[in-house]
Structure 1
Amino acid sequence: MNFLRIAAVSKSFGANHVVKEFNLDIDKGEFISFLGPSGCGKTTVLRMVAGFETPSAGRIVLNGEDITALPSRQRNIGMVFQAYALFPNMNVFDNVAFGLKVAGQPKAEIAARVSEMLKLIHLEHLADRYPYQMSGGQQQRVALARALAPRPQVLLLDEPLSALDAKIRVSLREEIRHIQRQLGITTIFVTHDQEEALSISDRIVVMNGGRADQIGVPADIYNRPATRFVASFVGTLNMIEATVLDQSGTVKIGETVVSLPEPIVHRQQGETVSLALRPEAGSLTGDLRGDTALPGKVLSTHFLGSVIRTKLDVAGHQVSFDTFNGPETRLPAAGEPATLRFAARDLLVLQD
């Protein structure tokens, strides 16, 4: 039985349909990320689960109980916001203890639970500090501890790392995932950062225009995108137009005939089909990699440390390909001819 069910949920603000027929079943202890651009509806879904917004249609069921109309304070759900939302007039101890005090727990139990939470986030030495005396990363860890202290059934995180610098974001997202696994708490994490979602999620919900375009494990979302939007939003993608020679999967890119591993059922002979290729799938080295070779010309080369990114003109399309740097690696010069080699099975046929 699913622990949290979001069934056919929609939300409209006047004539603006923000969420449309959204469905998702979440197992107990799962870490789910809502990934998508601004305005796609991901935070609105989160707020409906939290009880801050009421669905226009549909149901939300938590652990067998319909909570669609239940006030937020009765849902036993913890939430961490983007802007920390700590009480500035309270020290760390009192911030973490706030929900426990509201629930009327005895002082001894509150002290023990707060101590446990501060140890969990490795800030027990800062119990007397006030928010203004702490870094952004420390404040967000306190906000996490405050959300977890009342032992919620579900933890919701609304872009909790977006206000932090890059290095702190990486370390804190790993810490959040470690704590989530340690506690086994069902978690929904909202982000527009694909790297965050891919690195810490059990499953990802890619949202577009108020709908879930694709739901799956990170590897499937990246390697087998279901829609053109998912393919273009998650990761870097090269788009290549090809002409269909026959529906068995034979296409022509420029002057090169390529045999795809699967038939093309949505295009007729002579029509154009959109193909996509990840930058890491190609090679410019002389040794044959894969079964397909396309002639091209180097447009530019960018040295990125561990990776070298080369841009090519291939059959009139600008494509980028990444290779790992090595001590003997030579950077191709702009204007040089180059042959792009890859496996035809790595080409993704995109639906409209």
Structure 2
Amino acid sequence: MSFLNLEHLEKSFGANHVVKDFSLAVEKGEFISLLGPSGCGKTTVLRMVAGFEQPDSGRIVIDDRDVTALRPNQRRIGMVFQAYALFPNLTVADNVAFGLRIAGMNRADRGRRVAEMLELIGLPSMGGRYPYQLSGGQQQRVALARAIAPRPQVLLLDEPLSALDAKIRVSLRTEIRNIQRELGITTIFVTHDQEEALSISDRVVVMNQGVADQIGTPHEIYNRPATRFAANFVGTLNVIDAEVVEPSQGRVRFAGAEGVLGRALPAGRVTLAARPEQIHLGQGAGIDFDARVTAVDFLGSVIRLRSEAAGVPFVLDTFNSSQRPPPAVGETVRLTVAPQDLLVVGE
């Protein structure tokens, strides 16, 4: 049995059915991200695990112990909030020591554990400061240290980086992941930011309207999305309405071109999808077609081309080259996509 098991959780607020038959098995030491838009139910799932909300039905089991009916302080869970939630009248050291003091740890042991935590988060000399004297990133580090100081079984992170600027977010998410790996804490991380989820997770749960649309590794979620929602929410996607010319061979027609996918397809029309990096400039060993460039976005190492072929919009990414300028807006270019890179996307 997995270390943390969420079994058929349901939660409604009045007539609003927020979480629907949600199940998830998490291994010990695993880092799981719940990813989805606002209102999809991800924070409600986190709050049920923490004990701040009671599920209408279903079970929460941690280390073979059913904790569904237990209070938050009985679950051995650490939680980090979006808004830091530090005590403004306490020093950094006292904030980190708060849970330890509540648990009855003696002063000497508390002091050693606080020093250990401040060293871990890279703030060993700031124990005497108050939260208002710290930057946002430093405050969130202190909130993390406070959460993990009592050695929780499970660490819950509720969009902890959303209040920080972009550069700090990138560095701090890496630090959080490194600390989590070092301590081996089973962790659930809630975010609406796909880059965050893909970059630091062992597995990602894509949530949509209270349902787990897809659960998989970042590689699986990005490259093999199971539903149209997952495909569109995670990364940029070219969605192509194609006609099936020969169902048994998977021959399709789109954008004035034909190609064989090499797998059987239903008769009629299908929705195909490809990531921007899977469409290439120039004629190649795949399905190729002409497109007119409608926009060129220079993103540094990557150039994003927007184009149109037979009324179908296509976005493609290509590496910047100092020796080869990108096509100009209005120019006609040849594009190629490999059949194996075209996904047939369901609803």
Q: Which amino acid in structure 1 is aligned with residue 342 of structure 2?
A: L
- The partner residue of 1:317 within 312, 327, 330 is 312
- The partner residue of 1:279 within 273, 276, 279 is 276
SS at match of 1:173: helix
Q: Which amino acid in structure 1 is aligned with residue 253 of structure 2?
A: K
Equivalence map 1:128-167=2 (5 Å): 128-167=128-167
- Give CA deviations for 1:183-208 in whole Å, capped at 9, x if unaligned: 00000000000000000000000000
SS at match of 1:2: coil
RMSD of equivalent CA atoms: 0.9
Once the two structures are TM-superposed, the CA of residue 351 in structure 1 deviates from its matched residue by: 0.9
Equivalence map 1:16-165=2 (5 Å): 16-165=16-165
Distance in 2 between residues matched to 1:261 and 1:278, nearest whole Å? 19
Q: Which amino acid in structure 2 is aligned with residue 306 of structure 1?
A: S
Q: Which amino acid in structure 1 is aligned with residue 291 of structure 2?
A: G
SS at match of 1:111: helix
Q: Which amino acid in structure 2 is aligned with residue 223 of structure 1?
A: N
Q: Which runs of 5+ in 1 are unaligned?
A: none
Compare 106-115 and 276-285 and name the one that shifted more.
Answer: 276-285
Q: Which runs of 5+ in 2 are unaligned?
A: none
Distance in 1 between residues matched to 2:255 and 2:155, nearest whole Å? 51
SS at match of 1:39: coil
| 2:258 equivalent in structure 1 | 257
1:240 and 2:240 aligned: yes
Once the two structures are TM-superposed, the CA of residue 337 in structure 1 deviates from its matched residue by: 1.1
**Percent of residue pairs bearing the same amino acid type:** 63
- Give CA deviations for 1:239-268 in whole Å, capped at 9, x if unaligned: 11111112221111133111113221xx32
Once the two structures are TM-superposed, the CA of residue 217 in structure 1 deviates from its matched residue by: 0.5
Q: Which amino acid in structure 2 is aligned with residue 33 of structure 1?
A: S
Q: Which amino acid in structure 2 is aligned with residue 282 of structure 1?
A: I
| 1:184 equivalent in structure 2 | 184
| 1:205 equivalent in structure 2 | 205
- Give CA deviations for 1:6-61 in whole Å, capped at 9, x if unaligned: 00001011111000000000000000000000000000000000000000010000
Q: TM-score, normalised by structure 1?
A: 0.97
Given that residues 255 and 312 in structure 2 are in contact (C-alpha distance below 8 angstroms), is that contact kept between their aligned partners in structure 1?
no
Moved over 4 A (4+): none
Given that residues 290 and 344 in structure 1 are in contact (C-alpha distance below 8 angstroms), is that contact kept between their aligned partners in structure 2?
no
| 1:296 equivalent in structure 2 | 291
Q: Which amino acid in structure 1 is aligned with residue 301 of structure 2?
A: S
| 2:325 equivalent in structure 1 | 330
| 2:338 equivalent in structure 1 | 343
Equivalence map 1:6-17=2 (5 Å): 6-17=6-17
Query: What is the aligned length?
Result: 346
Q: Which amino acid in structure 2 is aligned with residue 214 of structure 1?
A: Q
